[in-house]
Structure 1
Amino acid sequence: MPRERAPAPGWDAELYDRAAAFVWQHGSDLVDLLAPRPGERILDLGCGTGHLTAELAARGARVVGMDNDPAMIERARQSYPALVFVHGDAASFRFAEPFDAVFSNAALHWVTRAADAAACIAAALRPGGRFVAELGGKGNVQAITSALLAALAEAGYPLPEERFPWYFPSIGEYAALLEAHGLEPVYAALFDRPTRLEGGEAGLRTWLALFAGRFFEAVLAEQRVEIVRLLEERLRPQLSHDGAWFADYRRLRIVAVKRTRV
């Protein structure tokens, strides 16, 4: 009988809501940065399970939530049946009616076709419309990923660079990308935000199950357990404190405006 490999990665929307509430909770002040006005038409790009979409709507916006994962969209619709949620790819979407703003929290670092995403965002905005986003920035989860890549290589599973699942740009890199597509950056910040993970001793394991499944696509299931154990051992001195795990998050926040003339 062939040995079992780890299952293909995919979002567990219920686990996401239970163990990763910090994602949308940290995004609440990003909504303040957007400062939505009543009646504005806003796209929540990469809306996940819809909690920040609902917050935008509560402030009077006419909001559309969009995500590329069917399970996330289904849970968002169940939680907020009065709101509009659509399935779509951040690198290849189009809407017939323009938006006053595009908002995105903790989603665009999953979009490795970043130039295509920027083009879609610019096309979705009316002239003078604004883009407000937070994503993983340069150096995000560097301790975790460095240790994980090393452990995978030692176990015989080196990860080719092209299969790295995230895009973590610097301020300069992302600002230049937006400018190339007619979006003028007016504010940008790159900052450390060590983030406590839910689950106590199981926090790192849960984070890996939620967010790092792509690293384990080719790994035999029984080896995955050992790799995760080794990872916990190596990262504990740096990322575990008082019975809790902390992810070494580094976030990029940016506000850009669509130029009225290119």
Structure 2
Amino acid sequence: MKGQEWYQTAEVAEAYEDKRFSDGGQLIDEREKEAVLSAVGPVEGKHILEIACGTGRFTTMLARRGADIVGLDISPAMLQEGRKKAHAADVADHLEFMRGDAARLPFPDDHFETVVAMRFFHLADTPASFLAEMRRVARDQVVFDTFRRFSTRSIYNWLLPMGSRLYSRVEVERLLNGAGLRLAHEEHDFVFPYGLYRQLPDGVATALRDFDTSIMGSPAGDHVASVSYWDARI
């Protein structure tokens, strides 16, 4: 995985949400949560695994809605932040955080109804093997996102020290077919890359988002989006 050592430091974990999901980054957080809830559907009582759960943004959100959820991450520091979040939301007894490797998930086949992986595949060095492992432990559904090739994300990638893996639709379809998954639903969004939103104060970011949304609502929208949300079924 790209940036694995960087990702596991306590300093990064402690500042992770403030740097990514404050100011204009709140718009990203809201949209990602909307995408997950839209894909997963009714949550209460559903047995869910979140891979690369980080600070528990989605794990805690789903637990608050009644999911039986496990959040798995390779970083002890990120998991510690996730536990703090769960305690603050009063759902610590409704979920479990585990340290583990997404390449070797410590669960039997078909153990979860749904497996979710957000902000994961852009760092994956062997996406096919990761997706196959997610498929192995999922009984019904796998939900994940990717950054799109041939979008503004390609330009933004030049500015990043370790870059991101970008995917065309053909590449995603190939991954799904290889893992024995079928695409049930897809959503595409954000003409402008996440990094731009994170640099802007709330008011400016909101105005940009309104413009962004108007473009996404046009016939060209799906062709210029920088992010895709995929809902795949067994």
Name the TM-score, length of structure 1 as normaliser: 0.65
- Matches of residues 43-58 of structure 1 in structure 2 within 5 Å? 43-58=49-64
1:111 CA displacement: 1.3
Q: Secondary structure at the match of 2:59?
A: helix
Q: How large is the RMSD of aligned CA atoms in angstroms?
A: 2.9
Aligned to 2:190: 192
Partners of 1:91 and 1:124 lie apart in 2 by 12
Q: Residues of 2 paired with 1:69 and 1:98: CA distance?
A: 23
- Measure, in 2, the Cα distance between the counterparts of 1:69 and 1:139: 31
- The DSSP-based 3-state class of the residue aligned with 2:141 is strand
Mapping 1:167-186, distance limit 5 Å? 167-186=165-184
List 4+ stretches of structure 1 deviating above 6 A: none
Partner of 1:88: 100
Alignment of 1:199-218 (within 5 A): none
SS of the equivalent of 1:178 reads helix
Partner of 1:47: helix, strand, or coil?
A: coil
Q: Work out whether 1:9 is the aligned partner of 2:6.
A: yes
Q: Percent identity?
A: 25
1:50-75 Cα deviation digits (max 9, x unpaired): 02111111121101111122211111
Distance 2:114 2:200 in 1: 38
Contact residue 60 and residue 85 of structure 2 kept, 8 A: no
Could you tell me how far apart the structure 2 residues matched to 1:148 and 1:181 are? Answer: 30
2:66 corresponds to which of 48, 60, 70: 60
How big is the shift at 1:183? 1.0
| 1:121 Cα deviation from its structure 2 partner | 0.7
Larger radius of gyration: 1
Three-state SS of the structure 2 residue aligned to 1:175 is helix
SS at match of 1:90: coil
**Corresponding letter in the other structure for 2:61:** E
Gaps of 5+ in 2: 210-223
**Corresponding residue of 2:146:** 135
**Which of 82, 87, 106 does residue 76 from structure 1 map onto?**
82
Q: Equivalent residue for 2:32? A: 27
Aligned partner of 2:128: which letter? A
Letter in 1 for 2:179: H
Instruction: Give CA deviations for 1:122-164 in whole Å, capped at 9, x if unaligned.
Output: 11112xx011222222246222223568xxxxxxxxxxxxxx5
Aligned residues of 1:171 and 1:188 also touching (Cα < 8 A) = no
Bigger drift between 73-82 and 114-123 goes to 73-82
Equivalence for 2:214: none
Q: TM-score, normalised by structure 2?
A: 0.72
Is 2:123 the counterpart of 1:101?
no
Following superposition, the deviation at residue 190 of structure 1 comes to 4.0
Residue 158 of structure 1 corresponds to which residue in structure 2?
none
